[in-house]
Amino acid sequence: MSTPGDIAGDQLRAVVERIETIDEEIKELTEAKKEIYLEAKGNGFDVKILREVIRVRKQDQRERDELETLLEPILLDRADFVSGSRRLGAEGADSRLRWVGVRVFAVLASILTRRKLTDTSFGFRAMRAELATAVTLREPQYQSSELLLGALALGARVVELPMTMRRRGDGSSKKGPGVVYGANYGRVMTTTWIREYVLRRRRQAGSWRTPADRTARTSR
């Protein structure tokens, strides 16, 4: 005759065995995925790009549409650097301080670069490969303003498009609380402006373009 203790023990054993079976299946699937990546690499595919494609395919349709919209001006040769803008689109602001900061730094960047800007820290950006290698990036964090001002200083055609900034789903920023973040962000923006606009102002605009690219543009 089984006792309650025996029944509970059997149930626990069954649960543990089911979990162990699933763990083993996950391990086998992980190994299978690694083999697929190795096979793709052997066939000449860039694994980093392949992972990015898979990441994008996991996004919802609205985010995928926004990414395609972001790339369109570059593919049509209407821009060299494209950034999303929550102020032109929509935002789910998670704090009043962040809402104010986005607008304050947009005004500051507009004054420094003499170019109307609405959002300097949006997460979706696209640019030409040669521009990405030409911009000087020295900051370990807060690079969005450094990248934007650096691209403008090089004479790149910069376009902002309406995008949606959604609230963070989980986790928290590693860049410090709002005031610390704002102070460091402002520091990076002003030091980038001094470096790129004041100390290097004799640099020829468009010097980042490859000779073939410059020839193609002048022949149009």
Which tokens go with 133? 């290698």
Q: Which position has the token pair 């025996």?
A: 6
Which tokens go with 134? 């030409």
Percent of the chain surpassing pLDDT 70: 80
How far apart are the C-alpha atoms of 94 and 112, rounded to whole Å?
Answer: 27
Kindly report the number of other CB atoms within 10 A of residue 101's CB atom.
19
How far apart are the C-alpha atoms of 210 and 220, rounded to whole Å?
Answer: 16
Which tokens go with 153? 């200083």
pTM score over 0.75: no
Residue 75 CA, chain-centre distance (Å), reads 19
Residues 6+ apart with CB under 8 A from 141: 175, 184
- DSSP code at position 165: E
How far apart are the C-alpha atoms of 153 and 135, rounded to whole Å?
Answer: 9
Q: Which position has the token pair 């395609």?
A: 68
pLDDT at 2 over 60: no
Helices of type H across 61-164: 61-75, 96-113, 129-134, 143-153
**Segment 101-145, tens digit of pLDDT:** 999 999 999 999 999 999 999 988 999 989 989 999 998 888 899
- DSSP code at position 209: S
pLDDT at 5 over 80: no
